[in-house]
Amino acid sequence: MNKRDKAFLKRISEELKKDTEKFELPETLKPESIAQLLKENSKAPEINEKEVKKGIYVAWAPSKRVIAAAAAFVIIAAAAVFYIGLDRPPSEIQETAAETEAGLSGDIGSSSFDFKESDKIGNVPADTNLSSVSVTQENNEKEVKGVKKANSYSEIEESIWKARKKAQNSSKFSLKNFFGGLFGFDKVGDIKREDNWLDTPSGSESVGYGRTNEQVEGVAEADIIKNDGRYLYIATQYGVRIVDTANNTLKHTSFIRLGQITKEAFTSFEKSTTVADEYFTRPQNHRILEIFVQGNRLAAIFDYYRPMRVNDTIRQGKSVTGVTVFDISDRSSPKELLHYTQDGYYVSSRIYNGSLSLVTSYDVYYIEGEEEVTKKISIPVIEIQGKADRLAPESIYIPEKSDYQSYLVVGLIKSLEKNSKIDTKAVLGGADSIYQRNENLYTARSIYDGGVRTFEFRSDMVFTDADETEILYFTLKDGNIRLNSRNTVSGGLLNQFAMDEKDGYFRIATGDSRGNNLFVLDKNLNEVGKVTGFAKGERIKSVRFMGDTAYVVTFVLTDPLFVFDLHDPRNPKIVGELKIPGFSEYLHPVGDNLLIGIGLDGTDTGINGDAKISLFDVSDPTKPIEIDHITYPSARISSNHKAFLTIPEKNLYVVTVMQYRQTSAGQLSVLRSFSVENRRIVPKLTYSPAPGIDELRGTYIGSTLYAIDPMWGIWAMDIDSAEVLYSIDFFK
């Protein structure tokens, strides 16, 4: 272990000691014990680093073994502190650390709490003066079984406070409860493709160009790379670059940086508790997550951390997510049109028929000994055009027998214009994933009941078994959000592809260690059909619904591909099954009878570290067959389906492949193309523009493939030869 690694471990030990000295921890979780374990772990054999995700750039990082050990024990210690009484939500730990590291400090403001019952926002135009807002409710809005609208802020505050106290009283620290709570999450986050109903290519319409891979046709989804046929739009956490590809060159046209956060964007209560002057004068507060490009409008999805100081010793904060819309008619000079934020961390977003829906999950922070403060911050805040206030009680729903300390928040911007109507609704609960088909929005959240969980570690995430999945069904129409129904099904959800709607029926695949399930629900989310308990002891790895057929991949040692017949919603059934080594993490249809599987290769005893592309013949649902496959040794193909590029003009598919090398350069990211010809996978070219790139993304215009590293640059390459034609370095 080198000197920096030793210093790193010492720092962790000191920080843990500061945070835990007021609690009596078990001997094995005391800082001294953890530090010793970290030292021992740093001498352990190399762990599998194949799935470590791309991180931020730093001048120095501890050795990989030290990072892995430190991460594991810091999570354990942090969660132990959380359960004993600090009560910081896991979703904010990283952000709080980041803000602290940045040196955020300042004078403590006055803690006067002057929220009034009249301080509320509901459904308003973006240019409305919020101080005069009155909420208009839809007369035809029906009652939702198991959910009621709040009558007042006090009703909401009391509901959350009681839930918090109940949870606190039941959270006696033990290894059983500790691990049950610590591993209460699964792989979440959804990513898809943008539709082009508004996209007018800036170049020639006869030239093909790349579009983001989408799950539902006509429903746009945000991504970090957008392409309109002439301009490329690249999002980084610092801003959005617009690059012109005209005349066989790459020209930096403009860089969009979101403005500073102002005091007017805070409610009076938030102003009183914020570390004021220094925070408001920081040069860059926002972190851009994804973007939409719709014709001459660009919408940037961003988040930021909003801190507050409660008293001399307690400091809290929350995640805020928002949308800023720009007029990009003049690509060299984008103009801001609309700015909107809502409380919570980003779950996902969509655009359908010009309306943008934004979904966040807002955790309410319990502050020990500060009941009034906790209640005041328990109401979600939204901001429109720089003016902020709490969401109206009539726009908040409380489930019956609610024990929830968090919210699902749904915002709807009717159009990407300056004076757009905006509606916001919140439901006590939360969300992990969403699915939208046309005006119908479904949100899903995993529910855990405490106790021991079955879990498994991977280097970039933790998998666990949810007891249930809560589903909420909304209609988004004419700028209004309406909650229609709510229900729960057993098992946990993998991601958005495990959900689908067809002919008024909602289909969802769930699973846990006890077995996997497929449910069919009607428009009221009442169960009409199901298949339960299949592939017991195996995990769902990928799902794809195609019309009246569903494909579900599970895995333990081999990869069973199950085929479901959904023609009769009341009688879904498994009609076919195929077992092969490895497993597919993403399934992509090729016509009606072929299916591409992107994932990992393996043997009869498990995965072997190689990447694999499979081709399945599903023309006979009762007898699915793997008719071909190719592998890439010591590699991983990105399972982010937005990174799956289709070039229909050349019958090509392009994927991002991370090649692992035992060298100082570590991971090598390249783009690889292949085609499907005569029921076979035909490998084509490797596009490797530069060494040391962490993860490339690809798009194309005409016969040029653009290999993009959002942080560093773009390489224009000939699709047919993989020759680098020209490039642009973002740092020159």
Dist. CA 538–CA 473, nearest whole Å: 29
Query: b vs e for 440-457, b when ≥16 Cβ sit within 10 Å of the residue's Cβ?
Result: bbbbbbbbbeeeebebee
Task: Take residue 166 and report the two structure tokens written for it.
Answer: 């109940």
Task: Take residue 440 and report the two structure tokens written for it.
Answer: 């119908």
Q: pLDDT tier at 531 (50, 70, 90 boundaries)? A: very high
Across 222-236, 398-412, 626-640, least confident range: 398-412
What pLDDT sits at residue 683?
A: 97
299 vs 193, 323, 477, 558, CA distance in Å? 15, 6, 20, 43
What pLDDT sits at residue 146?
A: 82
Tens of pLDDT, residues 333-347:
999 999 999 999 999
**What DSSP designation does 571 have?**
S
Q: pLDDT tier at 35 (50, 70, 90 boundaries)? A: low
Dist. CA 547–CA 592, nearest whole Å: 10
Could you tell me which residues are beta bridge partners of residue 717?
A: 705, 724
| DSSP state letters, 699-722 | EEETTEEEEEETTTEEEEEETTT-
End-to-end CA distance of the chain: 37
Say if residue 192's pLDDT is above 50: no
Q: How many C-alpha atoms does 657 have within 13 Å on its Cβ side?
A: 28
Tell me the backbone φ, ψ of residue 565, rounded to 5 degrees. -95, 120
Q: pLDDT tier at 267 (50, 70, 90 boundaries)? A: low
What pLDDT sits at residue 26?
A: 52
Q: What is the rounded average pLDDT of the residues 313-331?
A: 88
Dist. CA 517–CA 596, nearest whole Å: 23
Tell me the backbone φ, ψ of residue 530, rounded to 5 degrees. -165, 155
Dist. CA 522–CA 542, nearest whole Å: 23
Say if residue 23's pLDDT is above 60: no
Amino acid at site 641: H
Across 232-241, 456-465, 595-604, 696-705, least confident range: 456-465
Comparing 524 with 113, the larger pLDDT belongs to: 524
Across 96-105, 392-401, 412-421, least confident range: 96-105
Q: Are strands 539-546 and 549-555 parallel, antiparallel or unpaired?
A: antiparallel
Give SS3 for 393: helix
Q: What is the rounded average pLDDT of the residues 245-260?
A: 92
What pLDDT sits at residue 269?
A: 58
Indicate the average pLDDT of the chain: 77
Tell me if 508 sits within 8 A of 471, measured CB to CB. yes
Nearest to 238 by CA among 727, 715, 712: 712
Amino acid at site 29: L
Q: pLDDT tier at 386 (50, 70, 90 boundaries)? A: confident
Residues contacting residue 314 through CB under 8 Å, at least 6 positions apart: 367, 368, 370
Please, what is the Cα angle at 401 between 399 and 403, to 5 degrees?
Answer: 85
Give SS3 for 151: coil
Please, what is the Cα angle at 656 between 704 and 639, to 5 degrees?
Answer: 135
What pLDDT sits at residue 40?
A: 47
What pLDDT sits at residue 364?
A: 84
Dist. CA 249–CA 232, nearest whole Å: 12
| DSSP state letters, 466-520 | -SEEEEEEEEEETTEEEEEEEEEEESB---GGGEEEETTEEEEEEEETTEEEEEE
Query: b vs e for 146-157, b when ≥16 Cβ sit within 10 Å of the residue's Cβ?
Result: ebebbeebeebb
The pLDDT > 70 percentage for the chain reads: 65
Tens of pLDDT, residues 114-163:
333 334 444 555 544 443 333 334 445 677 888 889 888 888 888 887 77
Tens of pLDDT, residues 423-460:
999 999 989 999 999 999 999 998 886 533 333 433 33
For the chain, how big is the Rg over CA atoms in Å? 25
Say if residue 107's pLDDT is above 60: no
> Which range is most confident: 64-78, 217-231, 382-396?
217-231
What pLDDT sits at residue 180?
A: 32
Amino acid at site 481: I
What pLDDT sits at residue 48?
A: 38
Residue holding tokens 């801003």? 239
**What DSSP designation does 85 have?**
I
| Residue 324 host element (H or E) | strand 315-327
Say if residue 208's pLDDT is above 80: yes
234 vs 239, 335, 647, CA distance in Å? 8, 17, 20
**What DSSP designation does 12 have?**
H
Taken in order 21, 23, 29, 30, the sign of the CA dihedral is positive
